[in-house]
Structure 1
Amino acid sequence: MQKQIDTQRLIIRRFNKEDWQDLHEYLSDEEVVFYEPYETFNEEASKEEAERRAEDDSFFAVCLKETGKVIGNLYLGKQDFETYELGYVFNKKYQKQGFAIESAERILDYAIEELKARRIIAMCNPKNEPSWKLLERLNMRREGHLIKNIYFKVDENNQPIWLDTYEYAILASERSNKND
């Protein structure tokens, strides 16, 4: 990835190990990670995660331009067939202010223009309305509703808690036409 990607209010860049405190601020919040495939992070886990993400080309820190504070992250993971998967998690203090759409729009452009992505997909829990509404604002198409296809947690009897998944996608050609 280039050194950083700028938007009007944000800087999108690779993580570094010093980001652990900002990362911890939102990954330790039960509301923020409720739909994620992991539990909340303690300080030590946040330090380890910041180091791991610093080595992972799929994770991007989303930072406020004015202060440099990490307010969330984007995930752009390479799949098969020139396809990338988009994901995002944002600190709840910075939700509902347009930061997710601003950064996601720019990372989609980056995926298409720089990585030559042909298709970008995203998955979310149907109960996570803010997430699927964001995907629809990105003009991504809901291509499927998978029924009880995945689980991240188990119940008190150690049985999987099965969840549904919405699948979304957009082709590079559709995104290019939108920008014309």
Structure 2
Amino acid sequence: MFNVTELSDFAWSESELTSSILTLLTPNVVKSLPPNFQNIKTTTAAKNWLDEMVSQSHLFTVCLRDTKTIIGFVFLSEWDNQNVHLGYLLGELFWQQGYASEFLSGFITDCRDNHLVKSLIGGVEAANVPSAKLLLKLGFEQSHTTENGVTFYQRQLY
């Protein structure tokens, strides 16, 4: 149902990517995300956001296999040599349909089966209860909570 592909491995045009970014980064989607995800309302802002994400992480697109519509993104950024920070977002139109669970489950399996990383760590703001529940469902365990209310979850892959 989904393709999760590293951005560098797929031939998206800049206009397709910026259009998808503007469609996906709605206020409800980004309200629990860091400041650099906020107020992306122009093509220039979308391009700048994309450049920043590519420079800071391995960026993956999540698209529907049938239509090749980008419905979300997955981000992997180095935490240390063995632990990798996992971030993800899914467009609001695709919430509560099991999509995030399905594509993240497959993504985690690929990471484990290919020994890409030893463990994944995801941070979730306290207000983002659905994301915390999703990580727990996917086998993550609560690690710690920071002073600013972000709870970290970790999943050992091998």
Q: TM-score, normalised by structure 2?
A: 0.85
CA distance in 1, matches of 2:151, 2:61: 25
Structure 2: segments with no counterpart, 5+ residues? none
SS at match of 1:144: strand
Distance change >3 Å, CA 69–CA 56, structure 1 → 2: farther
Residues 136-178 of structure 1 deviation map (CA, whole Å, 9 limit, x = unaligned): 1111001112222xxxxxxxxxxxxxxx1111001113xxxxx
Distance change >3 Å, CA 105–CA 129, structure 1 → 2: same
CA distance in 2, matches of 1:56, 1:146: 22
Structure 1: segments with no counterpart, 5+ residues? 1-8, 149-163, 174-180
Whose helix fraction is larger, Structure 1's or Structure 2's? Answer: 2
Distance change >3 Å, CA 119–CA 95, structure 1 → 2: same
User: Is this contact kept in 2: 1:63–1:71, CA < 8 A?
Assistant: yes
CA distance in 2, matches of 1:127, 1:54: 27
Distance change >3 Å, CA 11–CA 106, structure 1 → 2: same
Q: Out of 3, 13, 27, which is 1:30 matched to?
A: 27
Aligned twin of 2:3: 11
The structure whose Rg is larger is 1
CA distance in 2, matches of 1:56, 1:118: 20
Q: TM-score, normalised by structure 1?
A: 0.75
Matches within 5 A, 1:91-102: 91-102=91-102
**Which consecutive aligned stretches of 4+ in structure 1 deviate over 4 angstroms post-superposition?**
51-57
Higher relative contact order (CA 8 A, sep 6+): 2
**Aligned partner letter, 1:37:** P
Q: CA RMSD in A?
A: 1.9
Q: How many residue pairs align between the two structures?
A: 149
Aligned twin of 2:41: 42
CA distance in 2, matches of 1:166, 1:58: 22
Identity percentage of aligned residues: 21
